[in-house]
Homo-oligomer: A and B are copies of this chain.
Amino acid sequence: MPKDGSMSESKQKILEAASELFLEGGVKAMSVRAIAAKAGVSTIGIYSHFKGKQGILDALFIEATEMVSAAMDAGNGAPTAKAGMMANAEAYLDLAEKHYAHYRLFFGESDPDYTPSEEAQELARAAFMKLREHAAKLHPADASSQDIQETALTFWALLHGFVGLTRHMGAPRAGVADWRALIMRAVEEKLNTYLN
C-alpha cells in the first residue's frame, strides 16, 4: 500500500479501490468503472493519475514484485543456506496462496493486454537477484556464475511449476492429500543434491 505523504487523496483512493477489487475478484472484477465507483470518483482520475488501466496494473505489478521480493528475504539470517532457501520456499508458497491474483499478474497470467513498464520489469529482475544470492550460498566460493544462476532458476522453476499445477484441472484433485508437504519434499530433495 502506498504511503499517504507521497500521493494525493484521490490517487490513493483509486489505488486502494483497485487493490481491493483485485484481491477479491482478480482482473475481471477491476473495470475502470468499478474502480471509480468504489473510490467515489469518476473514471477520468484513472487517466490523470495513472495514465489509464495499464498504470493501475503497473502499480499492482509493483505490489506483486514487492511481495515476491519479501518472500526472497524470508531466508535472510538462516543458520544454513539450505534452511534459508527452505524458508524462501515457504514464504513464496504463502504469497502465491494468499495473493494469487498478484502472483498471476507477476507471471503475465492475468490480462493478455498488460505489459509491465520498464520500471516494473527492473524490480522483477531485482527480486530474482535476491534469490540468486541465496542460491550462491549453496555453492563453494569459487562456483561459476552460470552454476549459481542455474540453481536459482531451477529452484524457482520448481516452485512456480507446482503453484501452477495445484490449480490445474488436469492435475489430480483427490489423490494429493497435502500439496504443501509434497512441494516442500521436492524442494528439499533438490537442495540436498547441492550438499553432497
Contacts and interface: CB of A to CB of B under 8 A. Distances in A.
Given A113-B28, A175-B146, A182 B169 contact: no
Contact of A162 (B109, B161, B162): B161
A158 B158 CA distance: 5
Interface in A68-117: 68, 104, 106-113, 116
Given A157-B162, A160-B165, A170 B125 contact: yes
B150 A28 contact: no
A125 B172 contact: yes
A7 to B, nearest CB: 26
Nearest to A104: B109
Interface in A134-170: 145-146, 149-150, 153-154, 156-162, 164-165, 167-170
Give the dominant DSSP class at A's interface: helix
A168 B112 contact: no
Contacts of A145: 175
A157 B161 contact: yes
Contacts of A108: 109, 167-168
A96 to B, nearest CB: 12
Contacts of A128: 170-172
A36 interface: no
A186 interface: yes
Contacts of A113: 28
B109 A150 contact: no
Interface string A156-196: 11111110110111111001100000110110011001000
A161 B169 CA distance: 16
Interface string A116-137: 1000010011011000000000
